[in-house]
Structure 1
Amino acid sequence: MPATLQDQLVVAISSRALFDFEEENCLFETGDAAAYMQLQLERLDVPARPGVAFSLVKKLLAFNDAAQRRVEVVVLSRNDPVSGMRVFRSVAAAGMTVERGVFTQGRDPFRYLRPLGAHLFLSANEADVRQALGLGFPAARVAIGSPQAGSNHPDEVRIAFDGDAVLFADEAERVYQAKGLAAFQKHEKLKAELPLPDGPFKPLLAALHRLQQAGSPVMRLRTALVTARSAPAHERAIRTLMHWGVGVDEAMFLGGLPKGEFLREFEPDFFFDDQTGHIEHAARHVPAGHVAAGVTNSAPAAETTARRARSNRA
């Protein structure tokens, strides 16, 4: 029988999201592809340092055992095949098992998400992330420079999500952007029992729920909703998760408080948010990625920033 990734959580990840290739990338950005390839070849036996999403990937792979593969990680990279050799050697040096990779030598890699059936795509390339989201795949641009995940929970994968425009569609966010906080609160109170439409990361949360239900003798999964919502708008978010039949282990309704310090205490292996301001603050404390979805990412940046500054829901 042919190989299949059915019933597995499939994570597609770029080499820069998995490893710290920033020094090499600086050379790549000069346009000297031959020099970049030569540098990677010279460093073939030098394991790359962990990147922003390294902890997330390593812990997810720990759900696999000799009896069953529950997670598949595929390197999906604009790198050339020669540089791909270093990626795979770095993976092996880190004690991880990653068997599949697609290296496109500068061409768009996101088109391979469909045959992979990916539940998540992580990349440092914003254009690739936007294209992936447009195709309906959960995707985030890793915040290069984020700190490594903490080491206090070696047997637990911890993932935190924003709500609107991430787990949920941006229906409520559009009301807030157009009419302000009071209208947003009224809108959500009136629709408290009506589930929010699916957001771009609902498929990932559902896949993680299945992984959590399957269980593992060596690894657990803990999720958190970290949102700027506050009462009474909290109720619709909770009821939406109940309607989906998918829970989260923790929920933080922060009412505009900065998320970074709360995330520092939760210690996620990764945090997803649609607002660059939240990501910039969170990335001071934890690995984070920007989800370029929803009305906030289609409005002019200056207008969005001004509106956030006028509201205590920022």
Structure 2
Amino acid sequence: MTVNARLRELYPDGQELFDIVLMTNNHAQVGVRLINSINHYDLTIERFCMTGGESPIGYLKAYMTNLYLSRSSGKVKEAIEEGIAAATMFTANKENPLSDTQLRVAFDGDAVLFSDESEIIVKRDGLDSFFEHEKQLENMPLAQGPLKCFLEALGKLQRKFYAKNVRIKCPLRTYLVTARSAASSGARVLKTLRSWGLEVDEALFLAGAPKGPLLEKIRPHIFFDDQMFHITGAQEMGTIAAHVPYGIGQKYHKGKLIQQNP
């Protein structure tokens, strides 16, 4: 991995690296085949967790997991309930060449980096109330969302490069890609990040426009969003996307409230 290779160049004795753990409910006897596959594809994976049919979610905190990714939405929801940042992976519908010198990670804002408090206002009271709400609370930081801790982990690695005067060519770049409008509701987002001591390299406010075409230009290695129609749009444009099943948005389908039994 490029990020780790550069970190080892700058910090030969450093231990803070990107660490990938392969977690599977397969039996340990399949371990040899997994190792052979990892070596064949030249993947940087040193740690395994093979649970023999049991869910691996209970081990996530012991592995000090900053992000759990799975194709299983059930496991992802279970991880989020345990307080672990998690998302369901979706492959792209077409190939879009990715950078091999810079890891690019793109995040939606509300219900991903931030809580769903603003989305609740939109769903309940409409856009006009949302804009007024954001104006009144512009200087009050949003509560954190499920992936804030992952952005923190990325920021910690970025600062190690910045300390060595490697900023413009940093091998790690982060993006905020939000449906918010910059003029009417963008300030609170940026002030929230500042209050957390965090930053993103690029903040893109789309004012409700589709995200897919912009993601096609950014070419992130992964994009996180809580709305499936944005996930689908990203897939169509060649972006690997990950769905974060969190917040009020999960109770709506095609603009209608999904009634749930109490």
TM-score normalised by L of structure 2: 0.87
Please, which of 128, 133, 137 is the counterpart of residue 80 of structure 2? 133
Provide the secondary structure at the position in 1 that maps to 2:230: helix
The 8 Å contact of residues 229 and 255 in structure 1, kept in 2 or not, is answered as: yes
Candidates 176, 200, 204, aligned match of 1:248: 200
Aligned to 2:260: none
Higher relative contact order at CA 8 Å, sep ≥6: structure 1 or structure 2? Answer: 2
Q: Deviations over 1:62-116 (max 9, x none)?
A: 4553633412111011223233332222222222332211112332111110101
1:304 aligns with 2:253: yes
Is residue 96–residue 216 contact of structure 2 (8 Å, CA) maintained in 1? Answer: no
What residue number does 2:241 align with? 288
Aligned length in residues? 246
Q: In structure 1, what is the equivalent of residue 117 of structure 2?
A: 171
1:94-142 Cα shifts (integer Å, max 9, x gaps): 2233221111233211111010110000100101100111111110100
- The answer (yes or no) to whether the contact 1:140–1:291 under 8 Å persists in 2 is yes
Residues 92 and 239 in structure 2, CA contact (< 8 A), matched pair in contact too: no
| Distance apart, 1:246 and its partner CA | 0.7
Q: How does 1:64-213 map to 2 (within 5 A)?
A: 65=8, 67-69=13-15, 70-147=17-94, 150-151=97-98, 153-213=99-159
Aligned to 1:114, the other structure's residue is in SS state coil
Name the SS for the 1:193 alignment partner. Answer: coil
Asked if the contact 2:3–2:102 (Cα under 8 Å) also holds between the matched residues in 1, the reply is no
Aligned-residue offset at 1:148: 5.3
C-alpha spacing 1:114/1:142, structure 2 compared with 1 (3 Å) = same
Q: Which residue of 1 aligns with 2:185?
A: 233
CA gap of 1:204–1:147, structure 2 versus 1, over 3 A, is farther
Alignment identity in percent? 37
Residue by residue over 1:246-302, the C-alpha shift from the partner in whole angstroms, topping out at 9 and shown as x without a partner, is: 1101111101111011001011010000011110111122111000011111x1xxx
Structure 1 gap ranges (5+): 1-57, 309-314
Question: What is the CA–CA distance in structure 1 between the aligned matches of 2:110 and 2:239, rounded to whole Å?
Answer: 20
* CA–CA separation in structure 1 for the residues paired with 2:243 and 2:249: 12
User: What TM-score, normalized by structure 1, do the two folds share?
Assistant: 0.73
Among 168, 171, 175, the alignment partner of 1:224 is: 175
SS at match of 2:37: helix
CA distance in structure 2 between the partners assigned to 1:195 and 1:204 by the alignment: 18
Q: CA RMSD in A?
A: 2.0
